Every structure is written in structure tokens, then in C-alpha cells.
Chain A
Amino acid sequence: MESAEQKQQPRYYFIWFLLLVLTMVEVGVAYLSHLPRTLLILVLVGLAIWKATLVAMYYMHLKFERLRVILLATAPIPLAIILVLGVLLEYAQ
């Protein structure tokens, strides 16, 4: 489709390999239960977001789309954050 003209072939296998390695790192990290929980959670969530971004950017071709498609795709994310954070604030009292 039209995105094909402008993009150089992304390295799909390289991304796959990266995802694989990151998954293995994640599972490994999860077993390090003696580390502080907060650190573990931060690392794991960071890795997960990294992986998710890779999929969205390269496999879903967001990296090669126009800005408006990217905006459309990411529009719900602020709402999701507002919901979860808003409710979690309840516990902050």
C-alpha cells in the first residue's frame, strides 16, 4: 500500500530476535525475587513497554505512517492513564 513506497524494508527478523531476547531477560528478571519489588516492577514494566512499542512501530508500521494515523492510534492512551491514575489517587490519602 502507499506506505510501501516510502519505507525501506524494516528488519523484521531483527525485531523478532530483539523481542525474543527481551522476553528472556524479563523472565530472568522475574526470578530475581530478592531484589527490591519497586525496582523489579519498574524494570519489568519498562521492558514490556519497550517490546510493545517495537511491535507497534515496526510490525504495525506506525513508524512509517503519517502523523495523523499515529495520533489516532495513540489517542486512547492518555485516557487510559487518566482512568488508572485517577482511581489510584484514591489510595494516596
Chain B
Amino acid sequence: MATLESSAVPLHAHHDDLSFIRKYIFATDHKIIGLQFLFATLIFLLIGGVMALMIRWQLGFPGEAMPGVGVINPKFYNALVTMHGTFMIFFAIMPLLVGTFGNFLIPLKIGAPDMAFPRLNMMSFWLFVVSGIVMTASLFVEGGAAGAGWTVYAPLSAVPQYTGVSLGQQLWIISIVFFGGSSLLGSVNYITTVINMRAPGMTLFRMPLSIWGLFVTAIIALLAVPILAAAIIMLLFDQTIGTTFFLPAGGGQPLLWQHLFWFFGHPEVYILILPAMGIVSDIIANGSRKPVFGYHSMVLAIIAIAFLGWIVWGHHMFQSGMNPLLGTSFMISTMAIAIPSAIKVFNWLGTMWRGNLWFHTPMLWAVGFVSLFTVGGLSGIFMASNSVDVFIHDTYFIVAHIHYVLFGGSLFAIFAALYFWFPKMFGRCMNENWGRIHFALTFTFYNLTFFPMHLLGMGGHMRRIYDPTAYEFLQPLQPMNKFITVSAFLLFMAQIPFVINFFWSLFAGEKAELNRWRDNGLEWTVPSPAPHGNFTVTPTVYRGPYEFSSPEVEEDFLPQDVPPDGGRERAPETVGR
């Protein structure tokens, strides 16, 4: 309970004598933990990406040996589909947004010395590592990795005989239980920090939208993940000790699994997109040198999306045999989400309107996010219509949709955030030109890969099938499958400039100035990288985070901690070290 001792008062005096292990391995500093999450998740992102390539290879060239991998058999293919989804959702996108940027940004941007519970924060990271190790280990156990899809629908997942996988599926469940623990500790920390530890003057409606996104996300995760935990524990017992929660033979209900899973799963989707929306809002305002258009409605839209997220889970189950009347109500609540989403897109456009756009690399990615999220949002309307969903449910149309939202959406926002906050994280800048090349290549090959999937879906191409040529009616679509596969490989290779740029800049990048992007956030008032404890003197906040091009001052930005009299004497920034 004495964990706060180190954070209650800024103790720069003795943070330097922490040993290497205390500082970088069992770190309690939120910034170091954020970086730990970053490096861990980049590995998982790579694993998930390689799995995607293997899936694409099999779909483009069914049954042919993949160079360096060999022939992919159907069981392994199912494992790939399952683990690609699992790694990308639980071990890449979610921890990148929530773990990395949640940890790194929340205290810095609200003017707090650290998280409310630094040691819980450390435990959160190490539980995540344990979870990741268990999940990775499940790839190599006897019987192979889980093969019931990342949605682990019972009874397929509940009885080992149905998939031929037992230990792999059990490790999957155990790993997600650990993951849930990690997520819970993170959520408790973020919520307490945001509520209790804001700097003086940092009212809720002066918080940057990125913090709003992360805060609301933490609330969603806090309340959604336990439902998943309860459900998968029941699933584990069905697998191992003979309970019958989801097995009709023993009186259980397979659809109960789907209800519980999607009651978690749909809010989970918003966990993956709300922080991204917040981050993009920050970066677009910065790149446009203009306040965010309609800040309050942006906040309300985040809250509305989060709330609606709880009452739409049934739209994943339109074809599962639910009561048709219930289907109608779920369609209406689902479509209602289009309204706050539309508000967000239009407000981003409004932010750029009459701006003075500065196309730094983060801005490019943010603009890319807006254009691709628009596609993902619009294609969602097809699925929301329960009658159209009868046809496109479980086809490549939905694969296209989720990838437009999670790759074109979340991952683009993650790249934007990485380029944007890299200087603050490491004290060096990433190379802008290579960043632009990375963006141009990714944007191009991204669309070449995923846009045609809409057409596959319209052709009736089912998702998660090992060999599309097994169906006669899908054979004419095979050239398109090949095209997508080639594009996917190019998309993968388009990430090479990023990897090189990232590691090269880490050691040899241009030294970062204090406020690289002439931004208003509190994080730009501390040295890059910021010391343990962040602020030498607790900052006082005088205004919202988006006072760009304010008529009050000559420059086109006005940091949150500059007193209104215009006295630009900010002592703290130079003291740090």
C-alpha cells in the first residue's frame, strides 16, 4: 500500500541510482512500461503478420508449398486463422493502443508524475508477458494451436474431438485469463489516474481527445473483459472437467457462449478503435494548426459509441438463430452507431477545413486513417442491415470490413502515434522521408490487399475456408485471390522501411528538440525523454489542448500551461536535466 511513496513527491534526486533491472525490467515508471509494451507488442505484430502471409499464401496458391514453410494443411490453416486473429487483437492492436500509448501518454498529458499505482502497472505488463508466452507456446504443443477461430465458438472449442486440439485450446484460454488480469490492472490504474491525478486546471473538458479515448476505453475494458474471463473459464471447465455449460448434450446452450462472447466482443471492438480516434484527433488538430472542430461533440461521440457498444452485441448473431424480433432491435441499435461515427469523420474534415496543413508523417497517417476508417464505417452499414447480413455474414465482405477498421483504422493510428511521440519516447526523431515512403507504400498496398476483399465477399466467398477452389462457384474468383496474396506480400515488405527507420532512429536519429511538432500538450514541456516523475514542478493548465492559431498569440500554437497573460516564461522545461 506504500507504493505511492515514490510518486507522491517528485523525487528526481534518487531516481538515477535505480539499478538496470529496476529501471528497465521491473520498471514502475509509466514511460518505461509503455516502451516495454511497445517492444513486446511489435514482436507479436510481426508474428501475426507472418501468419497473415501464410494464410494468404494458402488462399492464393492452395496446396502449393510455401517457400520456407512448406505445404499448409487444413488443421494448421485453422490454427493460423485463429492465432492471427488472437495475436493481432489481443497481443498487437489492443496492447499497442492501450498498453503502450495509454501508459506513455496518460500521466504525461494530464500532468501527473506517474500512474496512480506504479507497481500494479508493472504487474500488468508482466502478466501480459506471461500471457504472451503461454499463447506463443501453444503454437508448439502436441495437437497444435487452437483452431476454433478467435471467437472460439462452442461446442467446436469445448470438445477436443471436434477440432483435434486439446492442449492448444486450453493454453489459449489460460493465456487469455492472464491477459484479462493484465487488462484489469491496467484499467483500474488508468481510471484512477485520470479521475484523481489531473494537474490543477486540467478539467475533464480540457483533456486531449486521446486521453478521452483511452479513459473511456479503460472503462469499457474494465467492464467487458471480466465477462470474457467468466465465459472462458466456463469453457475451460467444459474442455477439462466435464461441465456442460455450452454442450447441448448435458443441457447447456451453445448460443450462451456467443451471447457472453459478443457482450464482451463488441465493446472490445471499441477498445480497439476509440483510442485510435482520440490519437488521430490530436494529430489532425496539430497537422491542421487548428482547434479540433466541435471538441465537445467529439467527446460526446466517444461516450455515445461506448454506450451503444453495450447494446449491439446481437448483430454478430443475426444468422445464429436468434429471435427475429431481437434481431430487429439489434439492427436499430447497431445502425445508431453510424451517427456518432459520422460526427467524428465530419468533424475531422471540419478540423482540416481552412487550416494550414502541415504534412508531417504523423499527419499523413492520420489522414490515411480518416479516409480508410470512412470505408470501414460505411461497409459496416451493410452488416448492420440484418437482411443484407443474411448474405454477407461470414463472407470476405466482413473480413474486408474488420481489416478496414482495425488495420486501416487502428494500426494506421498506431503508426501515426509512433511517428508523433517517438521523439518524446526516445529523444530522437524518426526520419521523415522514410516515414513518408513507408506511408505511401503501406497505403497503396493496403488498399490493393483489402479493397478487393469486398468483391470476394459479394461473390459469396466464405471466410475461414482453407481451399476456396473446393467450391466450384468460387473458382472464378481465384485470380482475385492471387492478386490479393501478391498485394499482401508487398504490404508486408512495405513495413521494412519502417523497421529500419525505427531502429536506425533509435540510435542515430536526429536529436529531438523539446517540442518537435509545436504542439500544446503538457508532454511537450518536459525533456525528451522525460525523467522519472515527469514534471519538476506540477504544471498548471490554463486552457484546452487545441489552441492552435489562436488570435491571442503570434505563434500558431498556445501550450496548455502558458499563463493567459502571455508571459512565456515556463521555468520547468529547462530544469529537468
Contacts and interface: CB of A to CB of B under 8 A. Distances in A.
A83 B326 CA distance: 13
A92 interface: yes
Interface string A57-93: 0000000000000000001100100110011011011
Contacts of B227: 83
B223 A76 contact: yes
B323 interface: yes
A67 to B, nearest CB: 14
A90 B255 contact: yes
A79 B313 CA distance: 12
Contacts of A82: 310-311
Interface residues of B, number: 16
Interface class of chain A by DSSP: helix
State which size class the interface on A falls in. Answer: 10 to 19
* Interface SS, B side: helix
Contacts of B260: 83
Contacts, number: 28
B322 A90 contact: yes
Contact of B323 (A76, A79, A93): A93
Interface string B276-312: 0000000000000000000000000000000000110
Given A79-B310, A83-B263, A90 B326 contact: yes
Given A76-B223, A79-B223, A87 B325 contact: no
B310 A89 contact: no
B99 interface: no
A93 B325 contact: yes
Contacts of A87: 256, 259
B496 to A, nearest CB: 44
B527 interface: no
Interface in B313-340: 313-314, 322-326
B255 to A, nearest CB: 7
Contacts of A79: 223, 310
Contacts of B256: 87
Among A79, A82, A92, find the residue whose CB has the most chain B CB atoms closer than 10 A: A79
A78 B322 CA distance: 22
Interface in A16-58: none
Contacts of A75: 223
Contacts of A89: 323, 326
Contacts of A86: 259, 263, 311, 313-314, 326
A93 B325 CA distance: 8
A79 B314 CA distance: 14
Interface string B231-261: 0000000000000000000000001100110
Nearest to B324: A93
A40 B488 CA distance: 62
A90 B310 CA distance: 17
B268 to A, nearest CB: 14
Nearest to A68: B195
Given A82-B310, A83-B227, A90 B263 contact: no
Contacts of A76: 223
Interface string B258-276: 0110010000000000000
Nearest to B321: A90
13 contacts: A79-B310, A82-B310, A83-B227, A86-B263, A86-B311, A86-B313, A86-B314, A86-B326, A87-B259, A90-B322, A90-B326, A93-B323, A93-B325
Interface of B: 223, 227, 255-256, 259-260, 263, 310-311, 313-314, 322-326
Ranked nearest first, the 5 interchain pairs of A and B with the lowest CB-CB distance are: A93-B323, A87-B259, A83-B263, A90-B323, A89-B326
Given A82-B311, A93-B324, 11 more contacts: A75-B223, A76-B223, A79-B223, A83-B227, A83-B259, A86-B311, A87-B256, A89-B323, A89-B326, A92-B323, A93-B323
Interface of A: 75-76, 79, 82-83, 86-87, 89-90, 92-93
